[in-house]
Chains A and B, each alone.
Chain A
Amino acid sequence: MESALPSTESSDPSGSPVVSARGLERIYGEGEASVRALDGVDVDFDHGLFTSIMGPSGSGKSTLMHILAGLDRPTAGTVQIDGVEITDLDDADLTQLRRDKLGFVFQFFNLLPVLTAEENVVLPLTIARRKPDQEWVDQLMETVGLADRKTHRPAELSGGQQQRVAIARALVTRPSVLFADEPTGNLDSESSHQVLQLLRSAVDEFGQTVIMVTHEPDAAAHGDRLIALRDGRLVHDAPPVSADAVIELLKTLG
């Protein structure tokens, strides 16, 4: 492995943004039936910040996140992660990028049912054939509150616990940025709260950069910054206020 373990310390805390997008456009389909899901989005995400993306259904949140994470390609525009242009990388380079710099948390917990909680957590390292740093893994299991559930299988865990395992898995490689698409979409409020708290502490304790798509004003309130989309355009970008204020904001967006 030529690249050293990526750690949050290695990226410049003060200087250039971790993720930087310019002029993003994404058009689905062709001609009459085409949909302009993103319509000229410029946005930067700084190191160690927790950003929430909100907006009405169909406003392009998922599309934006997929493109930022290199899961989809924009019709026009560029995305840089840690200063590296990713929109023209091939599959092998993208694979390497995911191993080194990205972490994902999904709405569906997406754990492998055949592996234990801890095995699921170290899975990204196993895939990359890296030796897990046991101290770090232990610390993560502790942080997500599952130190005593290491050997449980996903089926033996609640939804909230499964999602916490997924977060630990996303953190285990110390990615430059962690993407989460509606991570609480499938959880009750108590579990949601724990998961958001966890993301919050990842930012506070490990200096993790987090970008999260959410529908829930409560969730957005946990972040450092709230951006909102409407019809594929960035229409709001400010630190979040109270949940009530967010609800107001959403109303104005329609």
Chain B
Amino acid sequence: MLGLTLKSLLARKWRSAMTALAVVFGIALVAGTYVLTDTTNQAFDEIFVKSNEKIDVTITGRERVDQPDGSVPAFPERYLGEVRAVDGVSDAAGSVFTPGSILNDKGKSTGAPFAPQFISSVLPVRLEALDYVEGRPPRKPNEAALDEAAAERGGLRVGDTIRLVGTGAARPYRLVGLTRLGSASFGGSSISQVILPVAQRITGKRGEFDQISVAGRDSISPEELKRRIAAVLPESLLVETGTENAERQASDVRDGLSFLTIALFAFGAISLFVGSFVIFNVFSITVAQRTREFGMLRTLGASRRQILRNVLVEGLVIGLVASVFGVLVGIGLAEGLSALLSGFGIDLPGNSLVVVPRTVIVSFLIGVGVTLVSSMIPAVRATRVPPIAALSEDVLQAGSTRLWIRGLVSFVLGVAGVALIAWVLVGNIEGGAGAARIGAGAVCLVVSIAIFSPRLIQPLVRVIGWPIARFGGLTGKLARENSLRTPARTAVTSAALMIGIALVAFVTIFASGLNSSVTDVIAQNVRGQIILQGPGGFVEIPPEAVRDAETVQGVEAASGVRYTQARVPRAGGTAVASVDPRSVDRVLEIDLVEGTQADLRALAPGRAVIGQKLADEARLGLGDRFRPLTKTGRRPELEVTAIMASGNLDFLGEVVVSETQMDRDFGVKADFFGFVRVKPGQDVEKVKDRISRTLDRPYPTVEVLNQDELEQRQREQINAILALIYVLLALAVVVSLVGIVVTLILSIYERTRELGMLRAVGMSRRQVKRMIRFEAVITAVLGASAGLVLGIVFAFLMGIPLEGEGFVLSYPIPTLVAILVLSALAGVLASVYPARKAARLDVLEAISYE
């Protein structure tokens, strides 16, 4: 029987290959994600292990409050003396390692826009991890070194001048050495080294270290040394062995990347889910078409189990073949994904691709599992074919499940789906757990719809097919009737497309909502016509730049805004912003619920304006005092002097303090935005040009934008992410198109005799093609419209809880219509091959076909 199964698979090569293709994409995405993250993680492991190779113990600031950028506070230099005095320490040195910008002499960045760049201090040779491949370490204040890869990217050589920017103006340095960290790759990021005092000055950390690195005497173990050092240092410092430190950093990176991993896996799962619909359909149709064959096998003595096995083995083989290709494509895809991500500015490090057994095993389990599960119901149906089916003259539809069972299953799944989603929305479940539940809920809902939809197909196809039947002549009418012949088939085929389109519609609506919300927030809150921001709006800018901008002719006021996270009692992690009280009311429009603009101007250390949401949550009113825990471990006492409206996408966080307090207690020394108000009567563009010219030389990284440009930038970022999601969703849509192709091919095969008859009575090849094309369009438009409706409903539901955050949904009607039209065109595309196949049928052969 196994031989028979394989033979019949081979005889239907083309169909089997298409079926396999339905899951190849999903498996490839899973395998590719594994390969990509393994490669990246291995690269980071190597970086951290190599960095700490010569170091026995590290001392760093302890993280008090989670910061979005993962930064930890620097600490005073004086602890170095205490560390050196510990018995067993042979060498100890402090260092600085801080994000900054590395530019060439012309002020152009040497890296990709979002690639992190670091400024660090040189360590004594005994502790230094970087090898010098050319030149030597910097020794004088005007010297710097750069990693080899960055130098290559920027076309820089020893002797050239580079410029470094931290929290102050850019300064030139002579490139005296090129470095490398063993064989490790940094991806798109780069490191420039300068001598310690320079590094401290550039990064605004005078008298501070980010880390103390310690080498111990040979006689003492790192653990023992760590214990002794920890004993003399305060709680605020984290003492680790070099190995622990490397492991922690590696696992932090892993956590940081896990968002990306989960997102990629999610797209793999979507693609597999769609693929499972296709497989289910192909197997259902095949089983129906082979009814007589199964009946005959039964009369020859085949048992039910043998029939079941026959179908499942086909599933198994297809799953295996799909897995083999999935893994191979996935490995290729890892390169592609990496290129795709770097196209969007995410440059991950990595040398050669890492393929571990787990990647292959999991891919195979998924590939075979999905195929087997999807073919299970058709296989069970095949076993219900009675032997007598062998004798019947027409092909029986293999017993389909009873209506009330369908109704019940569909209903239960639908309720479960809604309940899961409602649970997340009502229960406010955040993060991965919430996303997983929403996903499970969506799966339940979609399956529920797919199970029940054969009932809905009749009226829907009548409506969607109306114009085609009305204006498409006989072929149009036939096409519509053909789509109605096997409602279950049409339903599953279009449901596969529905999933992809629903997600496309959902993210499109969401992104459009985000775009208009951002625009609204900027328009409502920013009075300054000119905005200063760091590269891509991801990096801070030197406060001096804002101060310099204020001196430009035609400027009325310039004011910086800084951000951080602090922990507020009874409310937890809270976004905190700072403003400059002198000019805040001129550059920002803050909507106060209680208190007056005068309170804003009177903002000083010890005072805070808080958001309505925080006021409710932490039960704070005017005049109340609270003590937030800052990232530097301080707890400044703040008195609430005004309350502002919440829901501005956290543009000003939930706590606003004065710049002085931000600097002193919250440890944030650089601005994120600078807002500039132009004097009345002045031409904004002219003033903007003057600011650009003034800032260009000292602060080359600062972007000077007007409001439109800022909105444009924000939109570009959202759209870049949207484009990335579209690319990944395209895989799912392609899979569902494959589904349309296979289903058409199968139904043409089934209707060979009928098509022959139509040709015999005079239907032309072109008419046959047209009929098939119309069928595809009906299926595609059916799936797309259902998807659009579903996507809109989902977006609407998801938007409800976000309303409080200042998120407003907007429906991009033209885009949604475009999606519908594109789907119809995709249907036409999917029908090309089947239509040609149908048109090519030999009339004589078709009618004598048995």
Contact = CB atoms under 8 A, between A and B. Distances in A.
Contact of A71 (B7, B10, B299, B303): B299
A98 B850 contact: no
Given A66-B388, A71-B387, A112-B4, A127 B296 contact: no
Contacts of B8: 112, 114
Contacts of A104: 299-300, 390
B301 A181 contact: no
Interface string A2-40: 000000000000000000000000000000000000000
Interface residues of A, number: 30
Interface string A89-115: 001100110111010101111101111
B381 interface: no
Contact of B391 (A98, A106, A109, A123): A106
Contact of B299 (A91, A98, A126): A98
Interface string B9-30: 0110000000000000000000
B299 A66 contact: no
Nearest to A100: B301
Contacts of A98: 298-301, 387
B390 A127 contact: no
A115 B299 contact: no
A200 interface: no
B301 A124 contact: yes
A200 to B, nearest CB: 23
A1 B217 CA distance: 79
A245 interface: no
A91 B301 CA distance: 11
A71 B386 contact: yes
B297 interface: yes
A126 B293 contact: no
A127 B299 contact: no
Contacts of B391: 62, 66, 71, 106-107, 181
Interface in A113-166: 113-115, 123-124, 126-128
Contacts of A95: 298, 301-304
Interface of A: 62, 66, 71-72, 91-92, 95-96, 98-100, 102, 104, 106-110, 112-115, 123-124, 126-128, 169, 173, 181
B747 interface: no
Nearest to B2: A126
B529 to A, nearest CB: 76
A106 B4 contact: no
B390 A106 contact: yes
B478 to A, nearest CB: 27
Interface string B807-850: 00000000000000000000000000000000000000000001
A102 B303 CA distance: 14
Contacts of A96: 301
Contact of B306 (A91, A127, A173): A127
A169 B303 contact: no
Contacts of B390: 104, 106, 110
A96 B3 CA distance: 21
B460 to A, nearest CB: 34
Contacts of A110: 292-293, 296, 390
Contacts of A128: 301
Contacts of A100: 301
6 contacts: A71-B386, A95-B304, A108-B393, A110-B292, A112-B293, A113-B11
B387 A123 contact: no
A96 B301 CA distance: 6
B587 to A, nearest CB: 78
A15 B400 CA distance: 46
A127 B293 contact: no
A15 to B, nearest CB: 26
Interface in B374-419: 386-388, 390-391, 393
A121 B356 CA distance: 48
A127 B8 CA distance: 15
B4 A169 contact: no
A96 B302 CA distance: 9
A169 B4 CA distance: 16
Contacts of A102: 299
Nearest to B12: A114
B309 to A, nearest CB: 11
Interface string B292-325: 1100111111111010000000000000000000
Contacts of B303: 91-92, 95
A102 B544 CA distance: 98
B11 A114 contact: yes
A95 B7 CA distance: 24
A128 B298 CA distance: 11
A115 B300 contact: no
Top 4 closest pairs, chain A to chain B, by CB = A99-B301, A114-B11, A98-B301, A124-B300
Contacts of A124: 300-301
A39 to B, nearest CB: 21
A100 B391 CA distance: 20
A115 B292 CA distance: 16
A127 B386 contact: no
A10 B318 CA distance: 45
Nearest to B292: A110
A127 B388 contact: no
Contacts of B7: 114-115
Residue among A98, A99, A109, A114 having the largest count of chain B Cβ atoms under 10 Å:
A114
B1 interface: yes
B286 to A, nearest CB: 13
Nearest to A92: B303
Contacts of A62: 391
A123 B301 CA distance: 10
A127 B304 contact: no
